[in-house]
Amino acid sequence: MLMGKHLIAGEWVGGDETFANTPTEGDADTFAVGSVEHVDRAARAAEDAFWSYGYSGQTERAALLRRIADEIDARGDAITDIGTRETGLPAARLEGERGRTVGQLRLFADHIEAGDYLDRRHDEALPDRQPLPRPDLKMVQRPIGPVAVFGASNFPLAFSTAGGDTAAALAAGCPVVVKGHSAHPGTSDIVAQAIDAAIKACGVHPGVFSQIQGGNRAVGQAVVQHPLIKAVGFTGSLAGGRALFDLCAARPEPIPFFGELGSVNPMFLLPAALAARGQAIAEGWAGSLTMGAGQFCTNPGIAVLLAGKDADAFVTAASAALTEVPAQTMLTDGIAHAFHQGRDRLQATDGVREVLTTSCDLRNATPYLFATTAAEWLNNEELGEEVFGPLGMVVVADDLDQMRAVALQLQGQLTCTVHMDADDTETAAALVPVLERKAGRLLANGFPTGVEVCDSMVHGGPYPASTNFGATSVGTLSIRRFLRPVCYQNMPSEVMPQA
């Protein structure tokens, strides 16, 4: 059963206005619209909760994370049912995403119990050191305070209400205020119910989690500008993320904004690999490009390769593979409209050739394939802008120097991929130093869709892929975003935090 309200510090709160979701089938559901007053109430509750939750032990927080995972699993069928209706995603995709969501909650629980994330350091006192004695110094990572999280449109579970940002903040010891995404409020509603049940079962302060649904731009602004919010996690568009980033920086007390804003995730196909297995790479690219209607932030939208018969064969094979992909339902009408606009922009661009043109309308998406030269790419920065959906572009370079020039001109990316064989090693060795300055994750002979949740994963990169190149929004390292180092000098152990 949907509550249709905001969850604020353990209470389900309505409002004067309502909005409806837009399911792909069936009747719409109605939800309360958030307000600035709701934001203030949630932030104040989060600050109150921090005085206990922020000073709790890892075992207590790990128990909460595991209980949230259990409560989400217990509502699995209901989440899948409404999630498929709201997003158009297939049930298997939602079930897999739920597995990832609960998996990262349990992984983070194990990780914080081990304690390594605290980076504890101790320099013992040297009272007899000359010419000056050294005091006893202990350093440990401490939670920063209440964190705001914006739900993502393309991941209704893994990057939304109980997704990676929320899990990382709770693991760190930070209460969370979630601004739910209006594309899937019903899914967020049920997940919030799971979190609420877990908080009550564990006896944690109810202010440790709140979720506010809907609301106009002023509500989002209020979330990032509230003086009690100490950091923001965001996954979404470049325009929206940059606007929130600027608001965070303009506060009287600026706070970090951890935004993941998008990427074209270029692939570089080196000559030997292209000659040996160009068709297989083309077919794999088509599958990655259209997975989930191309609505992945790691969607590999660009393929860079050298001119010649192997390049021609690759384009032919990619076009043939894409032709077999049927129309898919996009997450929202707005995303579909933006995809159509991106397609139209490329179709009207001089120097860009249409390889595969299909027909789609309303909330549907079908694949498109374009081709251009490296010279055109280097002269038109708009060709490097993301088109969010199943659209790919082949960039054909005259030689390896021009391919390197394309790499050098790239903006920050989440991923860059090199397809190589043994005979490409020397070329790859020259290209990788450029690519590692452009992306947070480098791949060899693979496709970037599919982000493993583990200790070594980096999901981030130089701007505009993300707003903080030193952070990741996936993996256990993401917990460090919501911690800060504190040094304790000659401090008795009895008054130091449990950590």
CA 118/CA 484 separation, integer angstroms: 10
Active-site residue, 297 included: yes
First-to-last CA distance in the chain? 40
Which of 340, 326, 436, 342 has its CA nearest to residue 90?
326
CB of 232 closer than 8 Å to CB of 39 = no
What is the dihedral angle through the alpha carbons of 331, 333, 339, 342, rounded to the nearest 10 degrees? -150
**Peptide bond preceding 131: is omega within 30 degrees of 0, i.e. cis?**
yes
The length of the chain in residues reads: 499
Phi, psi values for residue 485, rounded to 5°: -75, 135
Strand partners of residue 211: 7, 178
E runs forming strands in 307-460: 328-329, 353-356, 364-365, 368-373, 391-397, 413-419, 439-444
Q: Which of 174, 260, 360, 416 is catalytic?
A: 260
C-alpha gyration radius of the chain: 24
- Which tokens sit at 462? 């130089």
Q: Which of 174, 248, 297, 416 is catalytic?
A: 297
CB of 211 closer than 8 Å to CB of 188 = yes
For residue 44, which amino acid is it? R
Contacts of 270 (CB under 8 A, 6+ apart): 418, 419, 420, 421, 424, 427, 428, 431
CA 269/CA 281 separation, integer angstroms: 9
DSSP type of residue 326: P
E runs forming strands in 336-469: 353-356, 364-365, 368-373, 391-397, 413-419, 439-444
**Peptide bond preceding 464: is omega within 30 degrees of 0, i.e. cis?**
yes
Active-site residue, 416 included: no
- Which tokens sit at 54? 């922020």
Return the active site residues.
260, 297
